[in-house]
Amino acid sequence: MRKISLSNGEYYHIFNRGVDKRKIFLDKDDFNRFFQSIREFNSLDPIGSIYENSFKKSLGDRVSKLDKEGKLVEFISYCLNPNHYHFILEQVADKGIEKFMHRLGVGYTMFFNRKYNRTGALFQGKFKAVHIDSNEYLLYLSAYVNLNDRVHSLGDRVSKSSWGEYVGGNDKKEIKDKNNLCKKDIILDQFKNIDEYKSFAKEALEIIKENKEMGKLLIE
């Protein structure tokens, strides 16, 4: 049984990893399917099978319809690594996080198992949830999640995060993210401009990596 309650209007660090620390993303198509699942399963009403729905309407039409009908959660930031993921979510509907994460976990596991001819659980039990109970925690966690590939010394070929959404591609080394999943104002409105947030995030990541007590709060 989950130790914390999940309440509307509150922010949570949500994370999980592959069972036995196995990889859950093996190629670009796996990332794309996971992002598609994030978009389509984030709806007040159940949508059923993504595969079956793909024969009815285009992805654009389906997502547009879901946006109008309302969401279960708002994404603040995310990072997908080869064998685990991190989200910062705001719950915006009753039991929104539980419903969304259940659909995402079941749907993606079915896709993965069918594609790779395997059976059984893909993720290591139920997702983990930590309540974000202060603004300082939220800001530092956003840096940790957005730059999580750097925590694990991963490249953007094997890791996808919302960093590109936040920095907008204004750095030659940064790639503008086209997923546009995140509600960024809660973070970016606290800084004068994007460059100021970028500097904060990079400095915060170094502080997190050096501060063991802070790391315990953020690192799974």
Domain ranges in the chain? 11-218
- Provide the pLDDT for residue 4: 83
* Nearest by Cα to 105 from 20, 15, 29, 183: 15
Residues 121-159: tens digit of each pLDDT = 999 999 999 999 999 999 999 999 999 877 766 555 568
Residues 65-96: tens digit of each pLDDT = 555 668 999 999 999 999 999 999 999 999 99
Report pTM: 0.86
Is the domain spanning 11-218 CATH 3.30.70.1290? The answer is yes
Residues 44-62: tens digit of each pLDDT = 977 666 654 554 555 555 5
- Provide the pLDDT for residue 88: 98
Residue 195 has pLDDT above 60, yes or no: yes
